[in-house]
Amino acid sequence: MKKVLTIAGSDSSGGAGIQADIKTMSALGVYGMSVITAITAQNTLGVHAVQEIDLDIVEKQLDVIFNDIEVDSIKIGMLASGDIAQLIKNKLVTYKCKNIVIDPVISSTSEFRLFKDTALTKLKDLIGIADLVTPNIPEAEILTSLKIENENDIITVAKKIKELGVKNVLIKGGHRTDNSCTDTLLLENGEIIEFLGEKISTKHTHGTGCTLSSAIASFLAKGYSMEESVKLGKDYITLAIKNSFPLGKGVGPLGHLVELYEKASIKY
């Protein structure tokens, strides 16, 4: 079994972060492991508080994993601070890690700031060693200080992000204003591939970014190419969104484990 490590924050409501990552990895047949960078007080209505994990504990989590277990791919999500981003970069370089996928979590869906503006330089440094970065449109605009208003802008921004050193860039289309969910992938060789997406009528989309990046990391670990991994990741998240469900009073989670639920005859 392939082994995938998620480095991210914990979501107490279970819909995003570490919890969504582990569910996704389990659904896709890889063994999920975690390094927790922050704890959030979070529910379906939003993020209410964040507590960073001490640097020495983050470092120890990384060391005990890499000194014992072969890691086939890595998904990186919420890092909370520049110091944590710098530590992660140093460790991944030291351990010569492969198949690094970064979801640059800067703000939550409810616009709670999860990463400090003053730390963006260190986040960009970390992105520079990745195999893939998966920003949505607002995140891509923050990373480049450029505005995205049309398809040409998406390509321009993707190329600008690639200048950070990352091999491949996936600009997610969920925030597009043209009634499209098309994602744009800029490959290492300069080729641009568009993945057409459908608008799914549901408000229950908590944890989509975490889920997609974890799915792509899982497929990379299993030996698929970057293009194949993105396509398969898109297929998985589309299924998960179609099977999302209400929970609490706000934005519900995705159906990460829909096949298990169906086998167990669970209604949700």
Q: What is the pLDDT of residues 118-136, one digit of tens each?
A: 688 999 999 999 999 999 9
Active site residue 40: no
**What CATH number does domain 3-129+203-262 carry, 3.20.20.105, 3.30.1330.60, 3.40.1190.20, 3.40.50.2300?**
3.40.1190.20
Distance separating alpha carbons of residues 14 and 100, to the nearest angstrom = 23
Contact call for residues 125 and 76 (beta carbons, < 8 A): no
Using a pLDDT cut of 70, give the percent of the chain over it. 93
Q: Which of 15, 17, 209, 255 is catalytic?
A: 209
Burial of 87 (0-12, 13-18, 19+ CB in 10 A): buried
Active site residue 207: yes
Distance separating alpha carbons of residues 89 and 129, to the nearest angstrom = 8
Q: Locate the domains of the chain by residue range.
A: 3-129+203-262
Residue with tokens 């072969």: 70
Residue with tokens 């989590």: 61
Contact call for residues 1 and 191 (beta carbons, < 8 A): no
Q: Which of 6, 24, 40, 205 is catalytic?
A: 205
Q: Which of 172, 222, 231, 234 is catalytic?
A: 172
| HSE value, Cβ hemisphere, 13 Å, CA-based, for 95 | 24
Q: Which of 208, 233, 252, 255 is catalytic?
A: 208
Contact call for residues 225 and 20 (beta carbons, < 8 A): no
Contact call for residues 144 and 161 (beta carbons, < 8 A): yes
Active site residue 209: yes
Helix 151-162 vs helix 137-144: crossing angle, to nearest 10: 50
Q: Give the pLDDT confidence score for residue 267 in this predicted structure.
A: 76
Active site residue 210: yes
Active site residue 205: yes
Q: What is the pLDDT of residues 65-121, one digit of tens each?
A: 999 999 999 999 999 899 999 999 999 999 999 999 999 988 666 556 666 666 889
Residues in Cβ contact with 171 at an 8 Å cutoff, skipping those fewer than 6 apart: 135, 136, 137, 140, 154, 157, 158, 183, 184, 186
Active site residue 17: no
